[in-house]
Amino acid sequence: MQSMGATATVRVMSSEEIAARAGGETAFLHWPQRATLFAEREMRLRQLAVGHAMGDFLLFLAGVVHAQHEQLQTFGQQFPSLPLPDNSALDRAARAGLPPLPASDWPRDPAWQTSLRAIAAAVRAQAPAPAQAVLKALAEADSDWLERQADCLLTGVMVGLDLASAPIVAAALQVYWTHLLLQVQSHHGAKGQPFGRIDDETACPCCGSRPTSSITRSSGESLGQRYLHCSLCSLQWHMVRIKCPHCLSAKKLAYFSLDTHDALEVADAGPTDGDEASDEAQPVHSRAASAVIQAETCDDCGHYLKIMHSDRNAFVDPIADDLASITLDLLVADTGKLRHGVNLMLLFGESDTAEPSQPPDRADPPPDPGAA
Ligand SMILES: [Zn+2]
Ligand SMILES: [Zn+2]
């Protein structure tokens, strides 16, 4: 009986599982850590600000991210009974292949506005004069106006969006969604992952938002694997490397980075140390092929997303490093490629379009509440 029982437990893996496990176990989701997510981002922003042309802006955002950290630590005590999806809602979303906490229509609790006012108050003391007026206006803004701003940000509608206050509104929404994600994990995680893959692999499996950028992980069983980082809830989901995160084509990808003179240079080939690359197929290592931040461009759909290599710099952060590498966006935009990544803290404003993510012309600097 014992031996029969043993053979009966052998299960057949799908081809996808076999592919995913070829390099060891690959976790599909990488969850944010409440204690370190924003603290590490703040540290990275302060590091990147040194000698940077946008240094004042990066330091202002470091203060915002510090306030996000403080809010995330106390959010549960401040708002102990926020509505969350229950088991049947999680099941329904999973069966429909949809995210359980969709950014566009999850009913927001007014708690996020309380958090917004706290963040605005916390950064006001250190903010430069032009930002003072923005923060004062936010503190006095009525709830309806704030909800409209949130709707614009979360649905990518630029019409009616106040670009100057958008980074603060975004900061509060990020805290709120990250908290909801962590609550769902702690309420339902005991029985395994509370949710998994959704039908649209280009969108966040928790909230359906687009990624800011992708990051290769540098430790443990995820070594060298690439994850897309959600622009809203901070969840990271696995996507194999050398695959376009916009159209999923793997045919016409190229990798660009900045050379030492801030000009664009192309890597000889894609990343060389990832899940797909075999030992026999290692191309020659050029400087560009080992850059910490690359733009992964796709000639099939004309889009690009940045890929950040934490295996080459352990401090790299999907949102902070995206903000600090806007020069790369400007140069890639010159080649006609469109940005796929969304960074809610630095929206590229084109007031009459529903695409919030296109870089401005070089003559048109980004909105900068820290120095404008
Ligand atoms: Zn998300
Ligand atoms: Zn593509």
Residue 25 inside a domain? The answer is no
In a domain, 234, yes or no: no
- Tens of pLDDT along 9-67? 344 444 444 444 444 568 899 999 999 999 999 999 999 999 999 999 999 999 999 99
Residue 18 is given by DSSP the state: H
Contacts (Cβ under 8 Å, ≥6 apart) of 88: none
**pLDDT band (50, 70, 90) for residue 274:** very low
Confidence label for 349 from pLDDT (cuts 50, 70 and 90): low
Q: Is residue 233, in this structure, part of any structural domain at all?
A: no
pLDDT, tens digit (0-9, with 9 covering 90-100), for 130-165: 889 999 999 889 999 999 999 999 998 888 999 999
Cα–Cα distance between 57 and 324 in angstroms, integer?
10
Q: What is the distance in A from the centroid of ligand 1 to the CA of 323?
A: 19
Give the pLDDT of residue 355.
45
Q: Which ligand is nearest to the CA of 298?
A: 2
Residue 41 domain boundaries:
33-191
Mean pLDDT of the region 218-225:
74
Cα 83 to Cα 267: distance, rounded to the nearest angstrom? 47
Percent of the chain with pLDDT over 70: 80
Q: What is the DSSP string of 124-174?
A: HTTS-HHHHHHHHHHHH--HHHHHHHHHHHHHT--TT--TTTHHHHHHHHH
Q: How far is the CA of 332 from the centre of ligand 2 (A)?
A: 15
Do the domain assignments include residue 225?
A: no
CA of 261 to the centre of ligand 1 (A): 35
Let me know if residue 99 belongs to a domain: yes
- CA–CA gap between residue 203 and residue 297 (Å, rounded): 18
Alpha-carbon span 146 to 160, nearest angstrom: 11
Encode pLDDT of 185-208 as tens digits.
998 877 778 899 999 999 999 999
How far away, in angstroms, is 255 Cα from ligand 2 center? Answer: 13
111 in any annotated domain: yes
Q: How far is CA 267 from CA 71, 240, 297, in A?
A: 41, 19, 11
**CATH, residue 138:** 3.90.1670.10
- In a domain? residue 45: yes
- Domain assignment present for residue 41? The answer is yes
- Cβ 51 vs Cβ 59: under 8 Å: no
Structure tokens at 293: 């931040």
Q: Which segment of 217-221, 293-297, 304-308 scores lowest on mean pLDDT?
A: 217-221
Both tokens assigned to 316: 């790299």
Looking at the 3D structure of the chain, how many domains does it have? 1
